[in-house]
Structure 1
Amino acid sequence: MTAPHLVLLGDATSPHVQRWSREMLARDWRVSLVTARPQPIDGVAQKVLRPVRRSSDWLWRVGEARVTIRGLQPDIVHAHYVTSYGYLGARAARHPLVMTAWGTDLLVTPRRHAALRWLTAWALRQADLVTGDSQDLLAVSRQLAPRTPAKLIHWGVDRGRFAPADWAQKEPLAAVSLRSWEPNYRIDTIIEALARVRQRFAGVHLHLLGGGSQEAQLREQVQRLGLQDAVRFHGRLDDAGMAAVLARSQLSISVPQSDATSVSVLESMACGLPVIASDLPANREWLAPAMLVPSGDVGALAERWQALLADDAKARAVGQANAERIAQEGDRRAQMDAMDALYRRLLRREGVV
């Protein structure tokens, strides 16, 4: 029997899209990707749209995307990010159509303007299924499109790569942030808190992964605070590189203003690290209240950070509990098996399989 053809819409440059593609290839799907931001992915044929440089450009890619999707003759279409590729998928009118919400597309964009709320709701109503990785995302989807089924699917963690390391072999007083260097992720808050923590724990240091548009100003902030020897800017790393830094660290920090379930939080948990995170609905699903702080609150972050450094036994215990939680609920293989089952259920409804 010929493998069913899954056509993904999304950024090929995104590690999430890359992982999703590989997971579905491993489950006997033929995978193609329609993208405005290409990057090779082994085994995945790509159709490249004209570049998108501003949000309004998505409106002018509709015809191109529609023709491309029609030519691929997919059995199922799955668009990642509702207000960009999801809009293109909705306008292509090819079914079954799945959309995955990533966070800002439902938690922030519809609140900016009534027209954006209407457009987001319209796109969701065209889908046969919406997935999201937190209950607050699904709640917004159901509010905007009550008749469109919405299911909880986590990105999940590759527990073969992201696993606890020997605590005794870690760098003493090492913290890590895996978040991008963009305004939403408040890396400046982490750096400011680090300066306060160092007043009590002189050896504390910070690994910054992710990269982004704020690199220059974050480096300037580090210089201004005299933290040159305490902060290492790694930039974007692959999974192996991230896992290596996590293995050396004793704490992970993620304090964005807005977020759904963060893969970096789950990966940090899987590696047996305590995680301090923003007090957001998605983080409340995974972390204890004592590990949550208001986004942008330097004092609260510094206080929680110092409390963990002062109690190594507690930090270890929190990290161990995190790893156990991911083993039970956050394994990527289990999540992608569930997604594969949802795809095939949609195809059976359509009489394809």
Structure 2
Amino acid sequence: MTPNGHSEEPKRSVYGTCDPHYLRTLREAAGMDMFVLARTACLSVAQVRQLESDDSDGLFYSDAIKRQAYKRLLMILGAEPPSVEIPEELRDAAKVADAHLTTLDQIVAMSEQPPMNHSAFDAVHAGLAKLREHKQATAALLLLVAAVTLFVLHGPQSVVEATSELAAASPTPKVSAVAVSVEPPSVTTASVPVAAVAAASASVAAASALVAASPTAPSKTMGACTHSNEAMPQLSPFVAQKEGKYVYLVSAANAEVCVVDGNKQATLLQLKAGENRSVYGVSPWQVSSTSLQKVQIFFQGGRVSLPDATVSRVQLVEMTVAR
């Protein structure tokens, strides 16, 4: 109980219930004009009037924003802030200190655990898995190593024969084949074609591995989301409270919405149920969708209502902001 004989529960509840009668009574008791209160709280007169009358004109984007505005007005009018109850387990300083020490002990115990030892079998298994992922590059590397070894040991002519046999036995890369014809040259000039054949085989295999491993970039298409010159309903908010630099959309179901601003900059939105998005630009705006009736459109601080259920494209015309 407080010194005035009233319980603290009603004082705390007014911050959560948004009681319009309590707000109006508090303002009249403070002797503050509605225009002065709106200017002090950075709100419009219409929003303050809605909070005092509990009118649902959609002047706030969400209930959370409406509750924050209500709490701001209560604080300006001198209402007592809501009290915060401290849990029973946090009132005892000794228990809090013991909990902190226990947490520190657990952190120290976890840091002293020995590192996990990986066996040699795991390392070999991981290496084989990487080789399987790059089979074409591995085959080309083995072919190059075999060609160089035979060239060093047996001379140029044996290398040409061994290279052709290894190329026939190795898996064919998924690229266009490069035909290389080698005529029997003299001993002094045979080393150059053999090195070229080995280098070409390695280059082709490496290129095919890179092409197969590179992902394909997804293509972005705007579809039919463009500016339209056709006649369409022109809508404006009932009261303009903000400049028309953006459009705020809230979808009640999955919908595809096209928004085009005055510079003919088109934005295609894929909205899910309950999702909201803002699109920035210049007016006038064009908003179109096959499910436009399932999308709530907010413009210049207020909700815009559709004329009928068959409309799929509307134009939003900016109005002068009320000061």
TM-score > 0.5 by shorter chain: no
Structure number with bigger Rg? 2
What's the TM-score once normalised by structure 2's chain length? Answer: 0.22
What's the TM-score once normalised by structure 1's chain length? Answer: 0.21
